[in-house]
Structure 1
Amino acid sequence: MTSLPPPPGPPPPVSPARWAPPVPGPAGRPRPTFAPPRQPHPTLPISAAGGALAVLIGSLFGSKVLLDAVLRYEWPVVAYVALLGVVGYAPSLMWCTYVSRRWGSGAFLADVGIVPRWSDLGWGPVAWLAAVGTQVFVGALVLAFDVPLTSNTDGISELTQDRTYVVSIVITAVVAAPFVEEVVFRGVVMRGLLSRLPVLPTIGLQAVLFGVAHIDPVRGVGNIGLALVLTGVGAAFGGAAYLLRRIGPTIVAHAIFNGVVLLLVLTRVAERLQD
């Protein structure tokens, strides 16, 4: 009787994956490799964006109401500026910190898009130039169509003799405002809108909200032109933040933007240009 062959044994063990050199292509050259696809932009819940807007607008309105209530005490001008800064911006930072802990990783800077790099100092001026170009273009359209336009720097040059006021307004406009507004609009609001909308509507809507947030009822219909111009600026900052995936450059650009405007106002160059 013919004997049957022995049953096959277990399959040979598979060695762990190891690095292998690239397979040569034509003429012995390695085949090209491609970079892995970039990760999608980080997003936040839309409620985080809505809360950030509500807190910022409410705190700015509340700071002006509070200012009107304490003007009769005749405090130093620097005290009023400090009051506006603390009451107007501190609640927004508190909300964004809550957002980071509730819906983010808990690392506040990273969750709002602040990843400091030396290149931010180079991209910042580029974003500023884009904002200035957009401002000039939208401003020209506003003037061409005779849309009412007022400045949000009226009255600053009248208090330049008070050095403490000048220092405090510079700190508020060049340091505090750029940081807080970029964290709110490009760090939280834009990420919240990205969770529901495509890219272009997101950039456009956050820009409109940025412009509307600068409306002051005292200026009346002049707010229309001001909001349109600042909407263009917000679109430039939003586009830069989206393309660069961080807001460090837009904080730098925003600081330069406010600083140049403040310099023109404090030196009265803006008045001479208008004349």
Structure 2
Amino acid sequence: MVGMTQASRRSSRALVLAVVALAIAVALALSFPAWRGQLPYGWSLAASYLVTWGPLVIALIAGFAFWWRFLRFRAVDLVVGLGIGLVARAVGIIAQYASTGRMPSAGVMLGGISGTYVFTTVIAPVVLAPLIEEPFFRGLLQGSLSRGIRPWPALIVTSVAFALVHTIADGWSTTLIVTMLAFGLLAGYAVLRTKRLGPAIIGHAVFNGLAALITWPW
């Protein structure tokens, strides 16, 4: 009984951490456009990541004792993650074509590919985002919600939150919210079935990596 009580308390603390961090990140993201113009470009770029990921990282550190057990990988996670990334990106391409009549395409790069472009197109979304967002959303938030409500409602709530946060940070569009919701549901289901973050982290890297590949100015 004592062990169950401790587990319940740990889960409740994790949920509070996740909700508070998410609320702060959303508030900062909503206020960011009002003051980003006052900063030099480099500082503005750094601040855009800090306001979005900073609260999540703090919550992950504070709630490490809860979500660390999900941070496991197996060889099969590479295959599952590849499937998640491919399917979710395909949903995004179909959604964009249905909405705009155009397929995703590369942009025009003037003056060559800069280090900043590589960071914002590859390093941040393909490397950093999976390592921050998956432990937070699928580990801390979905994991703690699953202890308070049934796993499927927890998966759906987490996926919706994931999609909404990205539309707030990146700008509202039907294509974006459909794509992010599709990825969130697939990643959440993989974590629900395997009890591991491995498939979701690999899937997130593949999902964002495909976007970088499609839009890269070859």
Scaled to the shorter chain, the TM-score interval is 0.7 to 0.9
Structure 1 residues 229-238 or 51-60, which shifts more?
51-60
Identity %: 22
Could you tell me how far apart the structure 1 residues matched to 2:79 and 2:63 are?
Answer: 30
Equivalent residue, structure 2, for 1:117? 74
Equivalent residue, structure 2, for 1:206? 158
**What is the SS of the residue equivalent to 1:161?**
coil
Could you tell me how far apart the structure 1 residues matched to 2:53 and 2:170 are?
Answer: 20
Decide whether the 8 Å contact of 2:29 with 2:168 is kept in 1: no
Gaps of 5+ in 1: 1-42, 269-275
TM-score, structure 1 normalization: 0.62
Displacement, 1:261? Answer: 0.3
Matches within 5 A, 1:103-114: 104=66, 109-110=68-69, 113-114=70-71
Equivalent residue, structure 2, for 1:96? 60
* Paired residue total: 206
Q: 1:250 aligns with which of 200, 208, 211?
A: 200
Write 1 or 2 for the structure with the bigger share of helix.
Answer: 2
1 or 2 for the larger relative contact order (CA 8 Å, sep ≥6)? 2
Matches within 5 A, 1:34-183: 44-45=11-12, 46-61=15-30, 64-70=33-39, 73=40, 75=41, 80-100=44-64, 104=66, 109-110=68-69, 113-132=70-89, 134-135=91-92, 139=95, 143=98, 158=109, 161-169=112-120, 170-183=122-135
Gaps of 5+ in 2: 1-9
Q: Deviations over 1:203-245 (max 9, x none)?
A: 11111111111124884xx524421331111111111111111
Displacement, 1:63? Answer: 5.2
**What is the SS of the residue equivalent to 2:167?**
coil
Which segments of structure 1 move beyond 6 Å, counting only runs of 4 or more? Answer: 148-151, 153-156
Equivalent residue, structure 2, for 1:29? none
Q: Deviations over 1:123-174 (max 9, x none)?
A: 321332343455467x28x93xx6x8999x9997556724212221111111
**What is the SS of the residue equivalent to 1:267?**
coil
**Change in 2 beyond 3 A, CA 1:218/1:164:** closer
Decide whether the 8 Å contact of 1:55 with 1:95 is kept in 2: no
Decide whether the 8 Å contact of 1:60 with 1:89 is kept in 2: no
Q: Amino acid of the residue matched to residue 206 of structure 1? A: T
